[in-house]
Structure formats: structure tokens, C-alpha cells
Structure 1
Amino acid sequence: MVKTFYLSNGLKVAMEYMPQYRSVSMGVWVKAGSVNENKQTNGMAHVIEHMLFKGTEKRTARELADAMTEIGGNMDAYTTKEYTCFYTKTLYEHLFYAIDILGDMLSNSKIDENDLKKELGVIAEEIDMYDDSPEDIVHERLQEVIWREHSLGYLISGDKQTVLGFKRQDVLDFMKQYYTADRMTIAISGYFEEAKVLEALENCFGGIAPGCKASLLEANAQIATAKYYPSLYMQHKDVEQVHMIIAFESLDYYDPERYILSVVNSLLGGNVNSRLFQTIREEMGLSYAIYSYGSSYEKGGLFHIYAAVHPNQVRPVLKAVVDIIQKLKNELVSDRELYIVKESVKTDLIISDESTYNRISNYGKSYIHGETIETVEEAAEKIGKVTAEEVRAFVQKHFDLSQMSLSLVGDLKTLPREEMEELWMTYRTEKA
């Protein structure tokens, strides 16, 4: 059972005592991601994620790096479009040390100017690494053109030249605005003593500025809803394959149809039994890597179908994907296939929930998005109720070919933009 508490500064805490474990996972979610940036600050949330590991008033960067290793635990962080997360997993007897470390990082980071300059160079190398990866580019750049000027299309790592121009005061200004208690959530799951942990959290996190105390839903409402633009993105890279994505506008994070989306994703490209995998890889032999996934945000969402193929296979793969989608629009899924797909989705959910890290991730993300916590059992029950009629209606509604986007990155020497644009428009003007 998850209990909810608030520190004196309003910071929300989700705690789940699990006596069968001897380890404990803890995470801190901050409502600060690339969606909160503008063109002048794009990449700042990611920079701050890096900088909080570069030393505090009482610990050097090396001491922070060694801290969890010395006790056999692990600590890491990541930045998304909508939030930044710092997390740790350790044995229960070391939890208070982990709380102290994370609290120190979130409350007392130095943000030294020289350290910042060095780290910006490291991040520039990271950006170059992503730019060298067609599989990364094909995802990120498509979102950039689909969402146009909306910050949902910003790269999480940011523009390299913009990032290299950041100064210490820029970092401090961003942290002052977004690293406040009302924009944070802590989640803990595993074996611990509740009263002692709450006391430790108050001591280590209670000094964080409370902020304006607006609810997260109110803060989220300040960001405009993203407008979807059907787009074609093409970039040549000197590699052997073409990495391609076919995308459609999909659901935002709060949409009640998200359970149907989970079933549709699994049916289309979620595993080796999926229609995309079985048709395009197993039957036609056109691609080694083929899968689908959804990206749901507070202000918009996308559904992606990804494949890595030889340049000669781009056209037949595109046709095969469209044919599979059209078949789902025209024919009901069989009872047997639907049962298998739903069982697969439910099984993945339940197995994932056996990890304390995945549990805190569920709690932290739910609270940071301003929602109540939904248990895996509740989600599984809703997935189990999805019908074949709902699956077909979902595909008919959301996989509108006239709104299809296409991204191609890789060896495009034999794929002129004019021809691909004509092909793309041909599919978009076909009648479903």
C-alpha cells in the first residue's frame, strides 16, 4: 500500500513499505524538462542533471561518484521532455546515506563555473554522438518537425552551440524557477522504517524552496497544447541502411483510451508475435528491426512504427505497413489473437511491477503528472476489458493516412526527396 506524505515545504512523498524485500529504491522527480525551455534555454534541464553530480558544498564530484559504489548501491539520473529524475537503489541499511546524498545534490550543488565549462564540453560530445546515430536522429528530428515551434519538439540534449553558451547564472536562474518543492516528488519502495525515513527526508529535503505552491496540474496548464503537423523528414547519412519511422498523432498522457493504445501497440509491433514483425520480418524478410511504440505527453502524443532497412526496401516496407494498418481498420481482430495480445500486455505490466525501481517510477511519474496512483491490478483489469471493436475503432480514428508523417535517415542516395515526397503524398491522399 502506498502512503502519501508532505514535507514542511510542501514536497510530496510516496512511500511503499515492502517487508519481503531487503533493498529499497528511491527517486526524486523534478517537473523540469525540455518542454519547460525556450530556444535560448533549450538543453538546460539536461545540463542541470549533469551538474548536480559535479559537487556540493560538502562533497566533491569524485566523492559523489564513489558514494554509492562504496556501499554496493547504484545512483543515476535522466532527463525527459517533461521531467528530470534522480534515483538510487541500495540495501535498506544504507537508505539514510542515499537520502543524504540525493538531498545534498538537490539542495546544495555548487554549480562551479569551471566545472560547468568542462561539463558543457562533455555534453557537446554527447550531442555529437547522438547526431552520429541515425536511429537517434530519425526519432528526434521527426518530433522536431511534427511539433514545429512547440517546445515538445525540442531536443532534450539541446542545440550544441546554445548549450556551449550557457553560463553559471543561467543555470542558477533555471534552477530557481523549476527546482522548487512544489515541482518535486519523492518516491520510495522497499524495506524501511517509515518514521525514521520521513525524519531523514525532512532533514535533507525540507530546506528546498517551496515555490509558488501551485498544483502541478495548474503548472501544466500553463504550457499550450501541441499542434500536430503531418511532416516528411529526410537526412542522408553515410551508412548502409535507412532508418525509417511512420508516425501518427496519438494520445496525451491522460487520455482514457491509453489502455486500448497499449493493446494496439502490442498487436502491431510490441513483440515477436506482432503483425509487423511476423509480416515484414518473418514472411517478407524485409527488415531485421521492426517495432512500434507510443509517446504520450501531457500536451500531445505520437504513435511510431520503426524499421531499419536496405534503401531498396523502403518502398515495399512502407507499403506493407500501410496494408497492415488498413487490414486492422477493415477487419476485427480474432478472439484468440486479442486474448494473446492482452495477456502479453498484462504479463509485462505485472512482471515489471515486481521491481521496486519500476514501482517508484510509476508512483513518481503519476504524481509529477498531477495524477493519482493507479495500481498494476487496476491497469490490468482495464486492459482485459478492451474489445476487438474498440481496437478497430481506435485504428480507424488515430491512424488516418492523410495525417501520416514519415522520417527517413540513412543512405538516401537512391531515394530522391521529390520521389519520396510524391510517394508520401500518394499514401496520404488514398481513401481508407
Structure 2
Amino acid sequence: MDQDQPAPMVDNRLTEIGRLSPKQLRKRGLEWFIEGDNHDYFAPELLRLADNEIAAFSQPAGELYERLLLAARKAGEQEMWKAAGIPPNAVEAVDYSLRREWGNHLVGRFDFAGGLDGVPLKMLEFNGDTLSLMPETLSVQPLMLDMLPRRERKNARQWNHLRTGLVKGLQKILQRYPNRPANLLLIGLGHEEDWLNLDVIEMAAKQAGFEEVHRAPMEEVIFSEEEGIFLEVEHEEYLRYDFVFKMAPWEFIAYEEPELMGLLTQIIKRDLCVILNPAYSMLLQSKALLPLLGELGGLHPAMLKATRSATDFPNQRYAEKPIYGRTGDNLRLFDGTSQPVAENDGDYGHLPRIYQELAPFNVDSDGDRYQPSVYIAGGEACALCFRRQDGLIVDDDAEFVGHYVTT
């Protein structure tokens, strides 16, 4: 396809299914997603893909994941902590984790631009720690598939093996630590979205062979650098956990809870608990790793140019991103002038920035952008979902768009 020729709109891929009802979601404990201002969060259409188009998402995602892992490992070996965006109080944990916990990374999510109708697939970022969208992808997408018109539904399926990937990854981790009791504590920061995402982990953990799975908000958990991680289950009766999955990001702990960062560092180094995702996930989460990929030999055709300075883009067409930003916060887009064409406020304005080449998106006739996301679980690309945004920055206001695959 000619680079100057606009790509076809995705409208002919959209099949109307209507809105999910509150009753459908309430039955599965997912009604939070459409409460209040979120009533239109789930799009009333599904996006159609052909069988042979799935490989165009899965293969690059798998290759990019391997390159990110390689770059993370090399950054650690060369002690490039500052360049990779690791704050000083997290270096000890990340370094130890790279050397002693390699292979424990359980789940992450790539966000891409393009990928359909001749628009090249380009990686925007990798959410390497405490990602979201898991319940929407795993549990809501199949509900949407069931709403397809009968003529479409007959041969339709989804590329949606997130639970299988999580189970496989958790089984590998159990096999790596055969002498540990198979008990798992799921920790959230108290947000409803945390618990819904942890529901997915709990489901997979029980299927993988964890015998006890409990959950607790962070403030109820006891962290001891001498003994490990505990809950008080009865008055003065404590249960120690050998495995923990946390929805508190490592960077949040390092920046906002430095005392806890110190405790977790000692817990990891003394082999008192296996924490998931492991501390080296902080490297995968850091967008500062993207400029390092070229230096460390990890470039890929689906990668965008990324640097540490806006002066590397003399045409002034780039995205400015904080290294640990989430949901489009503190993101600014420049399209040829010194003033941003789009920007979001947020909580990450104090962090270092990277600068990334702008990427073309697939759009519909309303001008809405479609952002595909591919999950990595158990070390492999395993599931796909989309989000749709009516502005230039895909953020918390985006709609969730399910997909289906036909022959």
C-alpha cells in the first residue's frame, strides 16, 4: 500500500451487536464497568478479523517480548539503571530479581497502533506490571461474541487464550518452587478495578494448582523483612504466604512507599516470598527501556523511534511520555509545531520523559482511533482486544471494543 494513500476505514469490519445489559454483567460480578459515566464503556459493535490476520498481531508481539526481555537483562548486566529509569531505592531488588527470578514474569500487555488494512503495526508501549483490561478481555468479550447475529456467529471465534496463558505461567512458577506451599495472596490497593483484575488471577491460580488463594487490601498485609508476608486471619493468628500477586505497581512502591520498597527488597533477597510480577518487571514497564533497545541490539520493524531528547525529532512530530505514565496521563503529542496538538494532565509530570515517533492508527468514518492490545501470559502472546477513542490520546475515556475472527 502506498504510504501517502489513506488506509481504508474500519467501518466495514464493524458488526452491530447492541449494548450489554446490566443483568448480563451483574450475573458475572462485572456491573462496575458500566456504572455511572461508564454506561457506554463497552462498544455496541464487534470488530471482525480474518483468520490470517491474527498472526500479524501475535507474531510481532512474541518477538517484541523477547527483545524487551533481552534488553532488560543487558541493561541489568551493564548496570544501566539510571538510563533504564530505575530509581536508586529499587536497584537492589531489580538487580537481584534479574539474576535469581528470571522467568517469573507472568503477564503483560502490549498497546499497538495500526495492524489492519495496510496500516503498519507499531508498538506504543508494553505494560509489564499490574496491567488492566483482563476481565474485559477474558470475560466480557465472549459475552459480546454471543450477541453476534446468528448468521455471523456460526463460524465466529475469538483469539482469547488469556486464562490458558495465565494457568500455564502459574504452573511453571509452581514447578520452579516445588518445596513451597502452594498458597497465594492477592493484594490490591482497594480500587474495585483491582479486585476485578485479581478475580482473573484467582481463577487461573486455582486451575494451575494453588491450594489456597486469599485476597486483601495492602493496608491489611503484614510485611516482615525477617519472616516474610502475612495476614492476620484470626486474633493473633497469622498466615504466611509463599506467593504474592500484587496490583500495586513496583514504581508506585519505589516512589510513594520507600519503606515498603526496602522491606520487599529484603523479603526477596532472603527468599521469603515469590512476588509476582517480579521486581525486574519494573524494567519492562519503564518506557526508558525503549530508547535503549537500539543500543542493546533489540530493534524490530514494529518499533517506533524512541529517544531521550525532543531534539532528535527536528520535524517536531513526536509523542512525549513520562517513563512510568499510565492511561495516557501526562502524555503530549506534537505534530510539527512547538505547541502540542493534544495533551493530558495526570500524576506523572515529575517523572523523566522519553520521546517517541508518532504512529498512524486505524480509524473509522467518525475519525475514532482503534488501539489493539495483545497480552503476553506464560511467555507467549495469547489474547487480543481493542480500545476506541474519539480523540488523539487513548486514555480512560476510551471504549472497549471486542473482536471476532472468521475464516
TM-score (norm 2): 0.26
Higher strand share: 2
Relative contact order (C-alpha < 8 Å, sep 6+): which is higher?
2
TM-score (norm 1): 0.25
Higher helix share: 1
Q: Which has the larger radius of gyration?
A: 1
